[in-house]
Amino acid sequence: MNDNIIVCRCEDVTVGDIKKLISDGIDSAEEIKRISRMSMGCCQGRTCGGILQQILSSELNKPIDKISLWQKRPPAKPAMMKVFLGGNKGAK
């Protein structure tokens, strides 16, 4: 996979960025997320998570089912800012 390919469009993280982190000893999705901000954008990792699993599987020579993603934390789905700011009174 070409190192210039963007994996995380939200945070502009490339394949090369991920490979560099792995070569520096960062070998878990959670650590890669914390360092690169991958999956912290609008999609919350729904677009880039599977691709990261594939890259980790390939680079670490592990089966993809042994590569776990990051810990999911609330909000688990996108929310409008007005909900947090009180502009959506009575909304469920």
Output the pLDDT for position 76: 64
* Burial (CB count <10 Å: 0-12, 13-18, 19+), residue 55: buried
* Cα 75–chain centre separation: 15
Q: What is the pTM of this model?
A: 0.72
| Half-sphere exposure for 18 (CA within 13 Å, toward CB) | 31
Four-way CATH pick for 6-84: 3.30.1330.60, 1.10.10.1100, 1.20.1250.20, 3.40.50.300:
1.10.10.1100
Q: How far is CA 45 from CA 64, 73, 78, 87, 89, in A?
A: 17, 12, 12, 27, 29
Residues whose CB falls within 8 Å of the CB of residue 12, separated by 6 or more in sequence, listed in order: 6
**Per-residue confidence in pLDDT tens, the chain, 92 aa:** 899 999 999 999 999 999 999 999 999 999 999 999 998 888 888 889 999 999 999 999 999 888 888 766 666 677 788 877 876 565 55
